[in-house]
Structure 1
Amino acid sequence: MVPWVFWGLAVVAEFVTGADVRLSPVVAAVPPLVAIAHGWRAVAVSGAVAWGTQLLFVWAAPPQPGGVDPLTRVVAMAGITLASAFASLARRRGEERVRHIRSLAGGVQRAVLRPLPPLTGGYRVSGFYRAAGSDAQVGGDFYEALETPYGLRLVLGDVCGKGLVAVDATVTLLGAFREAVYREADPVAVAHWMDRSLARRQAATGDRRFATALIVEAHPGGRLRFVNCGHVPPWCVDEDGARELKLPHGGLLGLFDDVLREPLVAVEHTLAPGASLLTVTDGVTEARDARREFYDLGGALSGQGLGPCPVAVKDAVLTGLAHHTGGRLSDDAAALVLALPESR
């Protein structure tokens, strides 16, 4: 509507100002303004309207001697309209390229992060991934949930850095996890498998990119085993609120040989009926608002009566995160929620 508001103001100003002030040439700005958001047809229509408006002004108040003659105005108006139409076409082609690139990025995301099954291994599962940039759809956060002979196994991780290089490391880690969970009975061995795979990638590419990850093994009855590889601790969410589970810090994937001083251990925990397990990346816990204050995840989940509904927990995290950051994330964010189905 901006071009037409501008046109209306120019018309009103032309009639309310004196004869020594001529604002009719100002309507020549209407076609370029239309080209910002509309197609070439709308630009042509706006050019015709602007041209007709100038002719009306000339008829109502003929130009003074020495002024711009009507033919010059018509030629100038036609040139401006033609240039605006070409600009509109170029903008549309650029938008098509951007949509195509976004479509490819969305395909990469769907290939890397498969949709989570809502019910698998006797548990209800939900999760989300949000890239930091409004135009980005892929990044370094990853998750997976697979039912294996050793129980339901899940992973939530975060590769340092951004861009396609981080995505390449993510693919390496997810491939290692998807292979190891069916071969290794011990979740600690799964972590070592992922570390070795990332270390081999480091040696092959020269990229010393590392990652954090939390591996969860879920058994019937709510018995859980955790292997923490330098990741953000998980949360237990129930109707009373949320509390953080304390786990050994472990070592960063890709750097076990350099930083791991003690053997990795699997820590056990029992998920109570009516509770959910929430795991997040640091893009959630370190999200800041306009005052540079961190997102209070525990506070956002308290007082909402959340229980064994992973989707409700996920939505509560997303809603609180969007409200806290104003929808502008500075880092990729992901979460994975696990709960036992409610007994009937």
Structure 2
Amino acid sequence: MPSRFSSPLFAEPGEVPGAARLPLALPWLVWALLILAEILSSHEVRFSPVLAVVPPLVAIAYGWPVVVASGALAWVTQLGFLWLDPPTWVGIGPLTTAIGIVGVTVASAIGSVGRRRGEARIQHMRSQAGGVQRALLRPIPPQIGGYRVSGFYQAAEHDARVGGDFYEALETPFGLRIVLGDVSGKGLAAVDATVTLLGAFREAAEREEDPAAVARWMDRSLTRRQMATGDHRFATALIVEAHPGGRLRFVNCGHILPWLVDADGARELPLPPGALLGLFDHLLTEPLGTVSHTLPPGTSLLTVTDGVTEARDARGAFYDPGRALHAQGLGACPTDVKRAVLIGLARHTGGRLSDDAAALVLARADEQTDEETAG
């Protein structure tokens, strides 16, 4: 599994397909239209002064050498206008226009240099964010603990790369343990809470025999963070312990119900709702327990965050993974299930998410398909 689950199916927030090409073509289109307007206009109307808009438009998308070249092109075009249609009297108008073109070109070139430096800083920040993501959300092997795993992660804030959703899969003395969760809110505080929860899970998963004790460890860690920072955000999480033969144990901490996906479609797996992490002391009225199920052969377990189920289309309708997976003939191949959810989500939202979205798919390795074996 790659270190980043994010997918090119999703665009950056606010990005419109094809819009990136417009700044590249706009200055030359304006220049061509000005030439056409000058040729077709009457003697009394002059378009030479408007040529000064070409260098600023070029500066939006190009570097300073192209900006300077566009300024020279605008000046040469002005001379061409004067040659084709000489003025009836000599004034300072052409000289003023030339001076204006030079001044605007210099200012645009300086602005272009500043823009390129800003883009370099942003690229550096993106690289740093990618490093944080790789350290925080570590890659999960495609096969671990007798199970095959596939999934995706997509932050709504593209430049952030890391948001409030988190995941982990560890092979422990007690079996394969997986967690998928979602911290409330967004921003750096949500990332900090994610660090706290992942650290607690990684520590407790290796020490605690009972998966419910792992959840309590995570809750205590988040509660201590709340007291230390004054930030009282909470989190949902689904903890899964997987054993050979498809035996699964679940601890649901207020998370979205998982789906069982087979050749006929997907159906929700009923689990008690549990209590939210960080709120056990306020919401738990009885000891936290585990629920056991068996993952049948030819079936995958799909877990998602609310960024998937609450994703809306243009009409405001929510995305339904169960409906999207109906009658697709999926089941034992986690990669196929992941791909179907990812493609369906991208089509439903038009490639733009309003919240972080993550999914993990689990299937028994003893049911490996011929396709995956060949791959």
3-state SS of paired residue (1:45): helix
Shift of 1:68: 3.7
Matched, 1:43 2:43: no
Per-residue deviation, 1:134: 3.2
2:194 is aligned with 1:182: no
Letter in 2 for 1:238: D
- Counterpart residue number, 1:215: 239
Q: 1:9 is matched with which residue?
A: 33
Distance 1:25 1:148 in 2: 73
CA distance in 2, matches of 1:218, 1:230: 20
What's the counterpart of residue 220 of structure 2?
A: 196
The amino acid that maps onto 1:96 is: A
Counterpart in the other structure of 1:291: 315
1:78-126 Cα distance to aligned partner (Å, 9 max, x none): 1111111111111111111111111111111111100011010000011
Counterpart CA distance in 1 for 2:321 and 2:91 is 68
**CA–CA distance in 1 between the matches of 2:248 and 2:318?**
29
1:290 deviation in Å? Answer: 1.3
AA at the equivalent of 2:191 = V
Q: Deviations over 1:141-168 (max 9, x none)?
A: 0000000110000000111011111111
1:243 aligned onto 2:264:
no
Matching residue of 1:119: 143
Runs of at least 4 residues off by over 6 Å: none
Amino acid at match of 2:149: V
Q: 1:167 is matched with which residue?
A: 191
1:1-344 aligned at under 5 Å gives the runs 1-65=25-89, 67-341=91-365, 342=367
Take 1:87 and 1:167, find their aligned partners in 2: how far apart are those partners? 34
Task: After TM superposition, give the deviation of residue 65 of structure 1 in Å.
Answer: 3.3
Kindly indicate whether the alpha-carbon contact (under 8 Å) linking 1:39 and 1:89 is maintained by their aligned counterparts in 2: yes
- Sequence identity percentage: 71
Report the residue type matching 1:165 in the other structure.
Answer: A
Cα separation, 2, equivalents of 1:334 and 1:266: 23
Judge conservation of contact 2:48–2:97 (CA < 8 Å) in 1. no
Unpaired runs of at least 5, structure 1? none
Mean Cα displacement is larger for which, 84-93 or 214-223?
84-93
The amino acid of 1:164's aligned partner reads: L
In the other structure, the counterpart of 2:12 is none
RMSD: 1.2
Distance 1:286 1:70 in 2: 61
- Cα distance in 2 for partners of 1:120, 1:330 equals 32
Q: TM-score, normalised by structure 1?
A: 0.97
**Aligned equivalents of 1:23 and 1:69: distance in 2?**
12
Q: Name the SS for the 2:98 alignment partner.
A: helix
- Cα contact 2:212–2:251 (8 A) shared by 1: yes
> What is the CA-CA distance between 1:136 and the residue it aligns to?
2.7
Deviates more, 1:65-74 or 1:278-287: 65-74
Amino acid corresponding to residue 38 of structure 2 in structure 1: E
In structure 1, how many angstroms separate the alpha carbons of the residues matched to 2:128 and 2:220? 30
Which sections of structure 2, spanning at least 5 residues, go unmatched?
Answer: 1-24, 371-375
| TM-score normalised per structure 2 | 0.89
Give distance in 2, aligned partners of 1:25 and 1:68. Answer: 12
User: How many positions carry a matched residue from both structures?
Assistant: 344
Alpha-carbon distance in 2 for matches of 1:284, 1:69: 61
Query: For the Cα contact (< 8 Å) 2:266–2:326, is it kept in 1?
Result: yes
> 3-state SS of the aligned residue for 1:144?
strand
Retained in 2: the 8 A contact 1:297–1:317? yes
Q: Which amino acid aligns with 2:173?
A: P
1:11/1:24 contact within 8 Å kept? no
